[in-house]
Amino acid sequence: MEILKKRIIDEGIIISDSIIKVDSFLNHKIDPLLMEEIASEFCNRFSDKSFNKIVTVESSGIAPAVLTGLKLKIPVIFAKKAKPSTMGSFLSARVHSFTKDKDYNIFISDGLISKGDRVLIIDDFLAHGSATRGLISIVEQCGAKVDGIGIIIEKGFQNGGSILRGLGYRIESLAIIEKISQNEIRFKD
Amino acid sequence: MEILKKRIIDEGIIISDSIIKVDSFLNHKIDPLLMEEIASEFCNRFSDKSFNKIVTVESSGIAPAVLTGLKLKIPVIFAKKAKPSTMGSFLSARVHSFTKDKDYNIFISDGLISKGDRVLIIDDFLAHGSATRGLISIVEQCGAKVDGIGIIIEKGFQNGGSILRGLGYRIESLAIIEKISQNEIRFKD
């Protein structure tokens, strides 16, 4: 997705050879017009699929997930990173953040995902794939099927994408970064 | 907003005389079509204003804020409840959650809100108003103006709305709850 790659190059801030900051349009300040184009691109790439729910994780996944949900006219469920006191029975999964070097749990209330659901998982980043695997685990604990995974930025130099593709999941990443160096972000193809 | 009130009555779960759970369309599972109607309603109610930025706080404010931002073609900034390690200089405010009975800080990176910005604050709930006051504080620390506050559900029996209106802020709440009792949610007018 060329317009996305251009924004990453123009506005991404290289923090290290594995971390870029895209706070000016994706993770902190959000450009809703770009998010709408991202949602359209997810719909195009998955036009052969018939999802009935989108699942993401708070917070940066919410904007692209809701705009995609609006186009597909299907609900969006976002996993929470802390269990609210008002949450009754729930499903959870353990996630490791390599950026923050810590483990945390993600939670989805029981009953929001049902057996037979055809789920599109959407997230902003795919790197080692821990958060995505956590979402897959919860969806599958519910007896539902992960029918597609839509990622805005995949770090192709980390192994999350290859592991998940190897397990048979269909992943569509709108920009795959092959290498981050001191002064360059290089994309795959 | 009648369609919103109907959803609150039909799907809201009364937890106590001050807490309702609206996880089935707003806070956990999101109905993107309802969110779009909410965004349209915010645009109608503030049609006399000319905002150039929307500010909200993660996570439940993001969906309505992004859909409103899309209609107004302006960016959305969401305050974070934890400071990422990659965040440089920032502005912050202390917020008290009465539901969780604890204090936390919210953070916005320096430079995302500028002097002269005309800001619309959007959030899902207004109760005691602590989170909203935190957002106002950050916007005003930046030298920007809070030109409107759009709230999906206001708890009219708590004092956040009256305090903020008393301070001169324009608040548009799409549903104002007057009273929650064991088996009834009563709205103002």
| pLDDT tens column, A38-71 | 999 999 999 999 999 999 999 999 999 999 999 9
Choose among A28, A67, A112: nearest Cβ to B29: A112
- The dihedral through the CA atoms of B71, B79, A27, A109 has a sign that is negative
pLDDT the model gives residue B63: 98
Closest residue in B to A33 (Cα–Cα)? B70
Q: What is the pLDDT of residues A104-160, one digit of tens each?
A: 999 999 999 999 999 999 999 999 999 999 999 999 999 999 999 999 999 999 999
Amino acid in the structure at residue B87: M
Other CB atoms within 10 Å distance of the CB of residue B43 = 17
**Is B32's CB within 8 Å of A75's CB?**
yes
Q: Which among B29, B99, B114 is the top mutation candidate for probing chain A, defined by the most A β-carbons within 10 Å of its own β-carbon?
A: B29
Angle made by CA atoms B133, B134, B138, in degrees to the nearest 5: 115
Question: Tokens representing A164?
Answer: 């998940």
Give B19's contacts in chain A (Cβ within 8 Å).
86
Question: Tokens representing B153?
Answer: 């559900």
Residue A100's pLDDT band, with cuts at 50, 70 and 90, is confident
ipTM of the complex: 0.97
Token look-up 């604890």 returns: B102
CA-nearest of A175, A180, A186 to A151 is A175
pTM of the shown model: 0.97
Question: Tokens representing B18?
Answer: 């001050």
Closest residue in B to A37 (Cα–Cα)? B70
pLDDT the model gives residue A34: 98
**Is A32's CB within 8 Å of B109's CB?**
no
CB B107 within 8 A of CB B126: no
Give A59's contacts in chain B (Cβ within 8 Å).
58-59, 62, 78, 80
* Distance from chain centroid for Cα A157: 17
Cα separation values, B185 from A39, B27, B38, B171, Å: 36, 18, 20, 21
Cα separation values, B86 from A128, A174, B130, Å: 18, 23, 26
Token look-up 């000016």 returns: A24
Give B108's contacts in chain A (Cβ within 8 Å).
28
